Structure 1
């Protein structure tokens, strides 16, 4: 009982944590810079700061005193700039005039700070990146709306994301992947997706992913019992979101429907049907695969009925129409309800997609 209470307390606190506390749980995609370029950039900044100090000191060399008493040469200026910026400060060359001391206070001291920042840039960069991530996470959690949450980034989850990103106007930042596998999340982040590390069976992890404001939730875990638990939690948090679930066994479909799933895909039976068809008509399987791959070839698309098409039959259109959607209900093209097109209907049709063109839905 005490353990359950503590677990619930941790869940409640997770979704209320500020952005800096969620760094490592939520990952916002970033543009990485190669190590060679990063090092070269820091060296360049350090050299620029060094040259700037040398130039300023050389212009005011009469205001400095050298222990040798022979004045400052250009080499002495480089020496002074180096020991000053590195905070070594041997004291053999010192500013004595008011102008030189003013320049040291106003200009050389800030350059010294900049030089030190360059020297310890790796540590500061980590801290800066963490702060930047915290700010972006906080801003994202405040503004995210109508996104798609994908639970599980295995084979099914990756395929679902591929189909989502193949759509026109698709934005990778509008797809959030939830998984417990760090390697899978790294792969998703490399594609520009936002990732959340944690178990989707926890309601608080789903809150962090913004499920309560999502337009759709794709549930694609490796276990059917996990799919049921995730669906129950997602439906409780997002009553209006469309929840799409993949399961292995058909006997679990009714459980998912009762749990709140809008659509359930039985992966094992679908694969089995295609294998059975392939034994007799393998080209049919190739055609189905082509239709389900939206990048090239043929694809199943959806579009609204145009005003000029209203009142006509979908069978007489130039497009190959498979069915129509009316008031949220799908009718096959040979159904009596599909004899005449009405305003507001949407057509499911076969579209030819060339390389570089995307399916419009």
Structure 2
């Protein structure tokens, strides 16, 4: 499953780069000092093949060579204790130092190069995807519903500032990016200009509206669906560029009101909205063979509404009596 690079997926470390490198250098120096100290105390167990005298400088030289290489044989351990110390202590220190330097090189050089290459490769293939800004309860349920309807999880690109939410989205098979969706650079990283649609469910109305405004600035023609919880924020959300604004509180009120006038109306509305229902709402463009026919003559489902030049017309209005090329149709279809 594609994932944007770990540099953007994980939270930024609170440790400065100089401190991260510094503690590694400190660990190496501490191990080197330990080995020098023990070698100095056990210097009688070492033999200098050149002059037969082991000085403190010889100890520093021998320890450094032993830790970084296998040695040159000019100074050698001759006693059992000195040999055991080199075998059981110096050799593990040598392995640890090598791994420490390899890890440092990977973290600060190789890893970043790999991340940049991988991110560029993912971005090249990002097209026709669905961006989900916010993977809380609402955002995750929207993704689950679309996946249940047959959408490939890899088609979703989830942006969230919470690492746990990102981990859940990643487990679902989505492409993920840990970041702030209100930032131009973050939306540009997920190639918003090539996206098919965007779902905004940030959890706060002000944040969702700002994300919508930023997205509309970068992608003027992108369909954007946003959820707001306060009724007076619906107009600002539309003004920010949202194509569809959903207020769950208002929708719940409509369901409650409908249930008072008819016990089955709310059930039918839920049936239409859920993948588990027997029928479903579908939206499409008028087919060439349907041009000139009334909306009621559709053979694919029950026609409800026609969208022409951005305006809606119900099945009972005169405009729905003769479909035109380019009209949008909303119909009720049976689920396969």
- Structure 1 length as normaliser, TM-score? 0.59
Q: List aligned pairs for 1:142-157, cutoff 5 A.
A: 142-157=124-139
What's the offset of the Cα at 1:322? Answer: 0.8
Question: Tell me, what secondary structure is at the counterpart of 1:188?
Answer: helix
CA deviation profile, 1:164-183 (whole Å, cap 9, x unmatched): 33455x33222111112222
Match of 2:199 in 1: 218
Distance in 1, Cα, partners of 2:223 & 2:331: 22
Distance in 1, Cα, partners of 2:183 & 2:5: 19
Is the aligned partner of 1:314 residue 2:295? yes
CA deviation profile, 1:35-58 (whole Å, cap 9, x unmatched): xxxxxxxxxxxxxxxxxxxxxxxx
Match of 2:83 in 1: none
Bigger radius of gyration, 1 or 2? 2
The counterpart of 2:147, out of the listed 151, 158, 165, is 165
Match of 2:122 in 1: 140
Q: CA RMSD in A?
A: 3.2
Match of 2:53 in 1: none
Going from structure 1 to structure 2, the CA distance change for 1:248 and 1:326 (only over 3 Å counts) comes to same
The counterpart of 1:330, out of the listed 308, 312, 317, is 312
Distance in 2, Cα, partners of 1:177 & 1:311: 42
Question: Tell me, what secondary structure is at the counterpart of 2:127?
Answer: coil
Is the aligned partner of 1:178 residue 2:164? no
Contact 1:22 1:134 (C-alpha < 8 Å) held by counterparts: no
Question: Tell me, what secondary structure is at the counterpart of 1:245?
Answer: strand
CA deviation profile, 1:6-64 (whole Å, cap 9, x unmatched): xxxxxxxxxxxx95743537xxxxxxxxxxxxxxxxxxxxxxxxxxxxxxxxxxxxxxx
Distance in 2, Cα, partners of 1:22 & 1:343: 45
The counterpart of 1:284, out of the listed 231, 250, 265, is 265
The counterpart of 1:302, out of the listed 280, 283, 286, is 283
Contact 2:139 2:201 (C-alpha < 8 Å) held by counterparts: yes
Distance in 2, Cα, partners of 1:281 & 1:132: 60
- The count of residues paired between Structure 1 and Structure 2 equals 242
Going from structure 1 to structure 2, the CA distance change for 1:139 and 1:322 (only over 3 Å counts) comes to same
What's the offset of the Cα at 1:328? Answer: 4.1
The counterpart of 1:193, out of the listed 139, 157, 174, is 174
Going from structure 1 to structure 2, the CA distance change for 1:312 and 1:221 (only over 3 Å counts) comes to same
Structure 1 unaligned spans of 5+: 1-17, 26-115, 355-361
Is the aligned partner of 1:227 residue 2:208? yes
What's the offset of the Cα at 1:260? Answer: 1.7
Question: Tell me, what secondary structure is at the counterpart of 1:196?
Answer: strand
What's the offset of the Cα at 1:305? Answer: 3.0
What's the offset of the Cα at 1:184? Answer: 1.8
Q: List aligned pairs for 1:7-18, cutoff 5 A.
A: none
Question: Tell me, what secondary structure is at the counterpart of 2:333?
Answer: strand
Going from structure 1 to structure 2, the CA distance change for 1:162 and 1:316 (only over 3 Å counts) comes to same
Going from structure 1 to structure 2, the CA distance change for 1:150 and 1:23 (only over 3 Å counts) comes to closer
Is the aligned partner of 1:257 residue 2:238? yes
What's the offset of the Cα at 1:135? Answer: 4.3
Contact 1:305 1:343 (C-alpha < 8 Å) held by counterparts: yes
Distance in 2, Cα, partners of 1:187 & 1:23: 12
Match of 1:22 in 2: 8
Contact 1:20 1:130 (C-alpha < 8 Å) held by counterparts: no
Going from structure 1 to structure 2, the CA distance change for 1:203 and 1:339 (only over 3 Å counts) comes to same
What's the offset of the Cα at 1:139? Answer: 0.4
What's the offset of the Cα at 1:296? Answer: 4.4
Contact 1:20 1:134 (C-alpha < 8 Å) held by counterparts: no
- Structure 2 length as normaliser, TM-score? 0.63
Going from structure 1 to structure 2, the CA distance change for 1:329 and 1:258 (only over 3 Å counts) comes to same
Distance in 2, Cα, partners of 1:277 & 1:149: 33
What's the offset of the Cα at 1:247? Answer: 0.3
Distance in 2, Cα, partners of 1:163 & 1:324: 25
